[in-house]
Structure 1
Amino acid sequence: MRYPLLGWRQKLILTSLLCLVVPSVITLVMLGLYAKNELKVKAVEKAEQALEVAELYTSNIMQDMVNAFNSIQYDSETVTDLRVAWNKYRQDGTGRVDFFSFKRISEKLDRITFFGGHTYVTILLPDGLYFTNYSTYNNDLGFMYEEPWMAELAKGPANVTEWLGTQPNYVGADEEKYPRLVTIIRKFQLYSNRDSAYIVLSKPENQFRQIFAKYGRDPVLMLVDAAGTVVSHSDPGQIGLAAPPRTSPDKPYELVDWDGSEYLAIRHDLPFAGWSLRSLTPYENVISNIGVLFNRFFVVQLVFFLLFSLLLLYFLNQWTKPVMKLARTATKVEKGFLEERSGVNGRHEVGFLGLAFDRMLDRIQDMIVRVEEEQTRKRLAELELLQAQINPHFLFNTLNSLRMQVILKGEEEIGAIIGSLSTLLRMTINRNNEFIPLHEEVETIEHYMQLMNFRHHEKVALKVNLASDTLLIDVPRFTLQPLVENAYIHGLRQKRGTIRITAWRQPPYLHIEIRDDGTGVDEHKMADIRSGAPVSGIGLKNVKERLHILYGNLFGMEMDSSPGAGTTLALRIPLKPREEINDV
């Protein structure tokens, strides 16, 4: 016998261990995903809060710069002073400016207050005249008239504010302190349809960076212009570089690759010139705590798994020992060692099974002994029966010899009777076939009637009407003979009369009717028969019981009789006695 690679015991242990491992692994994976998602949500919330605060300060600074433009451009006194100064400058023709003569303009610029700290204000008039709120000693601002952005702005309409972004500090005295300035410029008309003037406002870039620096590097905040260039950053080295592109504008956050690292990116758009605030949280920092948590949880899970595995293996070993012992005992019994016993007992299911198994083996041994004794006795009885048995062929041959001698002496009637007796005996003794064709069964009845008429003085006529398609249908042997005998003895009372046998086929049944014209049965006795009382005649009862055993409820027998009108027996036999028949 080939045993499987994994036995029942090994499969049980392996399944039990898998039931421990699989839930643990699934729990770890789900915990990791849930923790990662929660940390991501927390990081987004933190970044959103940081952006909201930074947006408030940044918007105030930028709005303050726009308000400063308006306070200069739309202040009539300031505009009048600028016109007077420019006219006087033109009339003087020396290219020099007596700043003490235009003290009112300088004082006006000095009185402008700004949110967030120091702000550089520069007013550029035509022909190189300019005013500032800062010292221009050794600081010639004439280069501003040559800047590319000045030429572009000069081509456009007036009263348009241009956000230049981050520029190098053009104030020499503060260049080391504030190396970069965030600059905006507005063009306006000093006179209608005349040369344009310009207002330049600059904020030190570190005013924005100080806001971002409060959050360290988690998250990283930056100010980005409409072209995607970094205007201000907590890391000054990133200023002027391209910010990470936004791939999903509709999402509240997204994962982006920037500067060789992966970041959790959030963007808030500002109401000025398409500028925006960006928040970049290093994704590694977000999920770094998950690794520590996952490792600790994994160690705890591993310890518990090893502990429970040892306990499980111990208990499974104890619980499966009786089953394995039963299996070994069954294997030995299969090989013929019937004296083997498992010895398994106990107040549990396996104990009851072992006890029942041992008792079954005891009974099998007892049965084997009894069967051997019975077989011995049976062989002796068969030997004795064989010694006492008369050879049927000797009897048939003797009857045939006697029949031939009688016929040769001219007694043909006696010879026919002897032939019928021989045929009837042969049919009675031959038990090889339980089923025979209907025509052979009727031939047996004809021989029987010939013998009965020979014994009695009053003859009984046998009328047979078999449909041609019923002759070869198999019926149980000696089914009709007892019924005809019952009609001859009880129906006709051994008097003169007629017995009719009719058969026809009506699938799925064969219908046979046996009718006599004898004395019949009175109504009281027929009522008892229909109510289930035993039918009269031993042969009739035996036939009914036998056919019920063969066909069950598919077989039917009905009896109809009345005094003086004879008796009719109707049989309903299935056409296929050894197959299932659908009842119709």
Structure 2
Amino acid sequence: MKFTNILSTQKKLFFMFLIVALLPLLTLGVISYMQSTKVVNGKLSNYNQFSGEKIKTELNQILVDMYYGTAAIQQYLADNTSINLKHQKPKTYWDFKVANNLERLLQAHEKSNIRGIYVITSSGYYYGNYSFKVDQFKELELWKRGFRSGNTEIGIYKPNHYRYNNLQYALGLLVPLKFSYGVLNDSFLFIETDLDSLFDSMNLLEEDLHSRITIRDETGKLLYQTKSDEQDLKDDVVWKEYTHINNWELEIRVPRDAFYQSSNVIFKIVLIGILVAFFLALILSYIFSNQFTKRILNLKFAMEEVSKGVFEKKVSFHTKDEIGKLGLHFNRMVDRIKQLMEEVRQKELMKREAEMKAIHYQINPHLLFNTLNTIQWKARLDGNEEIGKMLLHLTKVLEGNLDFTIELIPLKKEIEAIKHFLIIQELRFGSHFTFSLRMDDRIEQGLIPRMTIQPMLENIFFHAFEDGKGNIELEITKTKGYFQLALKDNGKGMSQDKLNTLFLTPNEKVRGGIGLSNVKQKFYIHYGNDYLINVNSVVNQGTVISISWPIRWGGHYDE
């Protein structure tokens, strides 16, 4: 025996509610965690990338300013007519004037982020801002390398060679000046740029995201590296940017644990939420399963009573949830069953009544047909052809109508029967009326209750026409699963009171034809309530009878 077969309904519902509650919660939790992590890590990655690009752009702009400024000053100094100092240290008025022009030239190329531009001679004399302490500057590794090699040097360092307002970080460019004239030959052009704003941006990454930033020149020489005890690992998250001027490499490295720290926090929050939701789902599943089980048991007991034939048993739920709606539909079903049983009982009574009438008025068909044939031949022998024809067509009408074994006949046979009936009326009244029929040959095998149209035609000749004068139109069509019949005359019409009683069962004592009530009764017996009879009439203008009933076919039919 399977495990589920030994569980009670309450336990099954309990586990079902628990699973139904937990699966969306777990799915939602996992999706929330994944999406939140994706968004947070994406924003963090974008922030790091944006910061790296910002630092690279700022550094690139600084280098552009420094290199272009150096090139412009070098081009100016290369002209021996521009700066022609006689002595390194000015001694004459001419020397002071030329030195002043040189310092103005250097100041003219200073921008907002350039701290100073200096020309330093080989003897140690310099031209530029007088707050510059050249002796302390010569202690920098940048100066020592450039002085020894005679090559251009660039580097990042912490300057202390100013008399006041020393920078935290600076970028210095030392360029040797090679001229064939004057005292500036073998001197150096030095440009120094303030990097404090750049390092403020870098410090944000270093402090907030635990990033380690490294800057290397085009040869791979280290220019700057964040002070940290952490080692570079393969799983570190790394971004790299390169400057356009000299292809410096800017590397931002974030430890994996630090980068995914926010994801871990999100995971803990989601896990706590899932655990809380689990306990709530546990409690609510028990409460709901218990409540549902009680109402389901009440519904089960009511169904058992109905199965025993007790249709007075109903359930009473005061809730509007699914179980309450189920109880409401159950009560409606019981009422519908009672209604259908009553309809079946009424139909059986009507059928039994019709059978009793048929038995009461039963006529031996052979005796009737033989008698009519005898009268017909007698009329011919006596030379009364008109009576003979009437009897012939009456026999054709009765052949179909006296066959009680077939209740539904093809439209084709019903039309044939009314044609014989109309010939009798023509022999009776003469050619004072017209009859037109519109029906597609493809629906002539459609079934209709036997002897349906003839009583309506009788009603027209006996009540609507005077001396058989008038026009009759019959149209039969098929649409959307139903046959549509429309019988129209231009007779006397009838009042609303007459319309209201047209299809009611007549008084048993009144003699007459089959009547229109039998037409309605036949449709009800065969189709239940799935039919429609409608009558529109205007006094002195005519009447239209419309009938709609479900499509059924007899014999062979090709759509």
Instruction: Calculate the TM-score normalised by the size of structure 2.
Output: 0.50
Higher Cα radius of gyration: 1
Instruction: Calculate the TM-score normalised by the size of structure 1.
Output: 0.48
